[in-house]
Structure 1
Amino acid sequence: MAQYESESDASIPLENFYIKRQGIGAFRKILSKVTFGLSTGYGNTTFKHDLKGYGILQNPDSMPKLFKPASVGAGYTDWVNKVTATGNTVQPGSFQVNSDTTKLGFKGKSFSIPIKATLHVEFDRYRIGGGYSIEYMHMGTFKPTSYGDKINSFNTDFSSFFLKKYFGMIGGSVYRYNEYLLVVDANIGGYSMGKNFDKSLIQKGVYMNVGVAVEREMSEYFRVFVRPSYEVKSYKMNVPEGGDAITHKFNAFYINVGATYRIPELRRCFLKSCHAQMNHAHGNREYRSRRHPIYKKQDPHYGENYPNLIKYKGRNKKKLSPY
């Protein structure tokens, strides 16, 4: 039997049994800050324009036409998307009005179905990123804002179009309650209208969308959210033969529902037979659990896949003695 003169000589150094774990790589740490989002929903857009500098000629049983105050015989149609020059013929029973005497314009409603993809990076409670969206937009009927009893409504020569938007995003979380998060953000960018619009005549500006999202954390990587928002945007339609450009505003209200996914900082465990529910090590490398679903809230340090014991689940609940 071996004897030791001191207790320290009899102890076995722990470093003989434990390997120092490798840290998370810098590239993986950067990726873990990136969050992807995807959403869809419903949008309600109001098209509205002011026909300052023009007059309206309404002949019986026909679409209204624009004219310049100095030339009633030169008319214009399709001023929402391309401006088509056409002659005006004043018929018996026609109605004429000039913007010098009253404010003229038309207003129409349309609905849209957006599909939106985003990518952002989170620092503490702030986030910055960008995204892209495409909307199927159905055009409604344009009704006159003045003289509704004398000026007819009209429809555009197309019933729908696709609106594409690209934007930068900035925002931050302002309130948390348990697993719920309140986020305020803004999307600022440009847009492209469909082929039904004559892009050579259109002057576009940037648009701004401001929203408040309620996010629900399903797990440390996965969230679902609902985001109501309001968007401001406009464009100017130039008249080919000169004259004042017609400003079209098409502000919109949206409600989006979707989900976000953040890239985990730890790799998934490579052992298919591993049932560990918490972050753990194999050799000198740390892994996240294979049993850690993205749709379920868990603490990665001890796991919460099975908060109820097996003896209290399923058919076992009916047994007097589960064991």
Structure 2
Amino acid sequence: MRYKLIIWFCVISWSAVAQEYEYTEQDIYRSPVRAVLNMFSMTVSTGYNATTYKHSLSGYYLIQTQTGQYITENTGEALPLEFETYENWLNDPQIGIPVNLEDTFDVPYPGISNPVNNPLLVNSDRIFNADSLGLGFKRTSWAVPLNLRVRFNYKGFRVGGGVSFLYQKINSLKPTVEGLGVRNYEPNIGSVFQFKYFGMVGYKFYDFWDYSFAGEVEFGKEKYLGDKFNTALMNQSVYFNLGISIEKNLSEYFRVVVKPSYNFQSYQMAMPSMGSIKHNTPSFNINFGISITIPEIPRTPMKSDHVQLKHVIVDPETGRYTEVRGQPIWKVQNPKVGQNHRKLWRYKWRNKRKINPY
């Protein structure tokens, strides 16, 4: 009798296994389009950029009057009694007021009883030789970006590109030489919108628990929108960005990203009838956002399917064996017990007062 029971249990067990594995790996349908799309990731981010506007006035004189600041070219020869000047050399160079040197050294106080660097000189007309003083202007402003990146992933390598739209505040620039009575340079604009497009290459070099670290290099061009910058006189170089993407992997398809990076960029602003000035605009950026990879398999279409892991079903529309997900993309796809739901259903806020929360 005992042997008959053993044989009977063996038959039942064999039949159960046979029913569970009634298909082969080749019978499971997986969309080739999804397989290709799964190799791409999309990142949306925003953050804070600290952009430094810095330029040297080498090759120019700075003329400071009571109403403004102007520049004129330093040809190495003595300035004539009257000459043309230029203003707004940061963004839109234009011809300024003509300067007469006859009253250049007139001061509003007795020269003997006051020091040479009397603060009252700040409000008088003065000329500074930027070459001999090493004079320039520098100031850090802030910007808020909205970034969109798309990349192709292959064995840790990533190649892609993106676009960025920025709102940038432009502050007054401080002189690089102090104690001479040079006032801050006040641009004729307070803010500007920018558009950037770029390519990107990178490599994921380290994984630690649920975190991934990737080094990325971006290179592209930027454009000032509107008419606040005279783009006809600008020659903008390709900018380079070096950064490290720190990614918290909530699932294999969904990540929270924090990316510190540094931009190297500059532009040349041509004067209407004389030379040009190089403006360096490096920036330190800290961006944060989300990154999504398109799943290679769909979510289960059956509302009655409550399987939490990836599994195979018979598609009710096509009748094919199809691998599906049991979780939304922002949750672990093959969770262990309690990994996705740390609180029991009955203890969640909306169920605490229910007698039967199930």
TM-score category (smaller protein): 0.7 to 0.9
The counterpart of 1:205, out of the listed 208, 217, 237, is 237
Measured in 2, the distance between the counterparts of 1:312 and 1:108 equals 54
Report the counterpart of residue 66 of structure 1 in structure 2. 71
Measured in 2, the distance between the counterparts of 1:231 and 1:37 equals 19
1:140 positional shift: 0.5
CA contact (8 A) 2:241 2:262 kept: yes
Report the counterpart of residue 8 of structure 1 in structure 2. none
Report the counterpart of residue 5 of structure 1 in structure 2. none
Say what the alpha-carbon RMSD is for the aligned residues.
Answer: 3.0
1:301 positional shift: 9.1
**2:277 is the counterpart of 1:246:** yes
The counterpart of 1:30, out of the listed 18, 25, 36, is 36
Between Structure 1 and Structure 2, how many residues are aligned? 309
The counterpart of 2:86, out of the listed 61, 64, 76, is 76
1:53 positional shift: 1.2
Q: Which has the larger radius of gyration?
A: 2
**2:22 is the counterpart of 1:18:** yes
1:75 positional shift: 0.5
Change (3 A) 1:89 1:108: farther
Report the counterpart of residue 294 of structure 1 in structure 2. 329
Q: Secondary structure at the match of 1:101?
A: helix
Change (3 A) 1:315 1:106: closer
1:99 positional shift: 3.2
1:239 positional shift: 1.0
1:22 positional shift: 2.8
The counterpart of 2:309, out of the listed 269, 273, 278, is 278
1:26 positional shift: 2.3
1:23 positional shift: 3.5
Farther-moved stretch of structure 1 (276-285 vs 245-254)? 276-285
Q: Which residues in structure 2 correspond to 1:56-205 (within 5 Å)?
A: 56-59=62-65, 61-70=66-75, 71=79, 73-86=83-96, 87-90=98-101, 91=103, 92-93=106-107, 94-194=125-225, 195-205=227-237
1:300 positional shift: 6.2
**2:55 is the counterpart of 1:49:** yes
Change (3 A) 1:52 1:217: same
1:15 positional shift: 8.5
- The one-character-per-residue Cα deviations of 1:121-157 (angstroms, maximum 9, x if unpaired) are 1111111110100110000011111255322112211
**TM-score normalised by L of structure 1:** 0.86
Give the unaligned 5+ runs of structure 1: 1-10, 318-323
1:103 positional shift: 1.5
Q: Which residues in structure 2 correspond to 1:253-272 (within 5 Å)?
A: 253-272=284-303
1:88 positional shift: 2.3
Change (3 A) 1:89 1:180: same
1:172 positional shift: 1.3
CA contact (8 A) 1:190 1:205 kept: yes
Give the unaligned 5+ runs of structure 2: 1-13, 108-124, 315-320, 353-358
**TM-score normalised by L of structure 2:** 0.78
- The one-character-per-residue Cα deviations of 1:26-75 (angstroms, maximum 9, x if unpaired) are 2211101111101111111110011121111122x222210122556210
The counterpart of 2:266, out of the listed 229, 234, 247, is 234
CA contact (8 A) 2:235 2:269 kept: yes
Q: Secondary structure at the match of 1:28?
A: helix
Change (3 A) 1:285 1:95: same
Q: Secondary structure at the match of 1:27?
A: helix
CA contact (8 A) 1:278 1:301 kept: no
Identity across matched positions, percent? 32
1:314 positional shift: 7.9
CA contact (8 A) 1:63 1:153 kept: no
Change (3 A) 1:203 1:50: same
Amino acid at match of 2:212: L
Farther-moved stretch of structure 1 (128-137 vs 93-102)? 93-102
Measured in 2, the distance between the counterparts of 1:130 and 1:316 equals 46
